[in-house]
Structure 1
Amino acid sequence: MFDDMDELATDYDDRVRKARENKGLSQSDLANELNEKSSLIRKIERGDTLPSDRVQSKLERFLEVDLNAEGASSDDSEWSGGSASGSYTLGDVVKRKD
């Protein structure tokens, strides 16, 4: 079920804001065009909330922007980490955000 879903880009909020600004629209203007509340657009652009699939589709269509993570399919490949004994440590699994 979840294998068919696209992963939302981590910078979706910046992509929406930049695309809106490139069209010369205010948050209220964009909300009116999409028939959504301007508070929702504000929350999406601040990264406070994730857009629903319906809102994401509207944003992508109207702003002509892709909000899906690029290269997400490479994360789906089989993981081959761990020690020779077959046991894993926390360091084998965790990705650091340096």
Structure 2
Amino acid sequence: MDEIATDYDDRIRQAREQKGLSQSELANELNEKASLITKLERGDTLPTDSVQSKLEKFLDVSLTGEGGSSEDADWDGGSASGSYTLGDVVKRKD
């Protein structure tokens, strides 16, 4: 599947709320655990491909594509030596 959007958690929550469903109701519809929906909406975990598919179909929402911040577009990363450090790759979530 395509790369997951950085704001996937907000997209899931907003689409669920738009349908007027609680987290447990959505979990029942998708045949998943309510705790998984909670973790997804908090951004604590990424959806597997199968869960992502279920969410996109049921909620009629895309969890891929544009959604990154503008600072991502300006980033060229790497160092003068051409190698990368962990700081070049990891994005902190404070």
TM-score under structure 2 normalisation?
Answer: 0.72
Where in structure 1 are there 5+ consecutive unaligned residues?
73-80, 82-87
Aligned residues: 78
Q: Secondary structure at the match of 1:54?
A: helix
Partner of 1:24: 20
Where in structure 2 are there 5+ consecutive unaligned residues?
69-75
Structure 1 counterpart of 2:16, one-letter code: R
Partner of 2:33: 37
What's the offset of the Cα at 1:69? Answer: 2.1
- Distance in 2 (CA, whole Å) between partners of 1:61 and 1:27 is 16
Q: Aligned to 2:50, which of 48, 54, 57?
A: 54
- Distance in 2 (CA, whole Å) between partners of 1:48 and 1:14 is 12
The within-5 A match list for 1:2-13 is 5-13=1-9
TM-score under structure 1 normalisation?
Answer: 0.69
Partner of 2:80: 89
Structure label with greater radius of gyration? 1
